[in-house]
């Protein structure tokens, strides 16, 4: 994966863990936290991971990523958050077929709870998708809570 670019939309602990792990795998990373920055950077990215939980940024950034068609688009967040983004995207001209490209919740189901584990889960799915492997255990294909071992008040989000 020489010289490929990973665009991370949103900052915070998962993004902070994702960047050095991706760089270890040979990715150049760009982290942005505004919609303007995301739309400017998305066209040169081979992979996009949205860690933002900002409604004014995350769904519009996903729409821009879907238009740019990178090899991987991941979106962190609960199944409820994914449903909210999906509604916004459909209301803004994205088709059901286009939405199939979004890996959301992003990552493989490895029981990840910490920011580092979540980053590892996302990168594992990204590598599987890029290598053409069937990413069995994708959170996207599951149901129920993403962090079943944690009480809701203790689950991790970028805001806290």
Q: Which helix (H) or strand (E) holds 114?
A: none
Provide the Cα torsion 87, 55, 14, 137; round to 10°. Answer: 0
Share of the chain above pLDDT 90, in %: 77
In the chain, where are the structural domains located?
4-154
The whole-model pTM stands at 0.85
Distances (CA, A) of 11 to 57, 86, 88: 12, 22, 22
Mean pLDDT (the chain) is: 88
Tell me the per-residue pLDDT of 23-70, one tens digit each, with 9 for 90 and over.
Answer: 999 999 999 999 999 999 999 999 999 999 898 999 999 999 999 999
Mean pLDDT score, 16-27: 97
Question: 4-154 is classed in which CATH architecture?
Answer: 3-Layer(aba) Sandwich (3.40)
Judged against a pLDDT cut of 80, whether residue 77 lies above it is answered with yes
List, for residues 116-128, the tens digit of each pLDDT value. Answer: 999 999 999 999 9
Cα 130 from Cα 86, distance rounded (Å): 23
């Amino acid at each position: 994966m020489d010289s490929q670019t990973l665009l991370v939309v949103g900052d915070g602990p998962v993004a902070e863990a994702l960047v050095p792990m991706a760089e270890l795998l040979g990715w150049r990373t760009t982290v942005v936290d505004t919609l303007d920055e995301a739309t400017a950077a998305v066209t040169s990215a081979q992979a996009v991971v949205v860690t933002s939980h900002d409604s004014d940024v995350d769904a519009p950034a996903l729409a821009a990523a879907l238009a740019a068609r990178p090899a991987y688009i991941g979106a962190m967040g609960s199944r409820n958050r994914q449903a909210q983004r999906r509604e916004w995207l459909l209301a803004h001209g994205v088709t059901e077929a286009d939405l199939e490209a979004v890996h959301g919740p992003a990552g493989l189901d490895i029981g990840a709870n910490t920011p580092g584990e979540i980053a590892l889960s996302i990168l594992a799915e990204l590598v599987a998708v890029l290598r053409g492997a069937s990413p069995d255990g994708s959170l996207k294909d599951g149901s129920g809570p993403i962090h079943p071992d944690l009480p809701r008040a203790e689950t991790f989000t970028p805001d806290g």
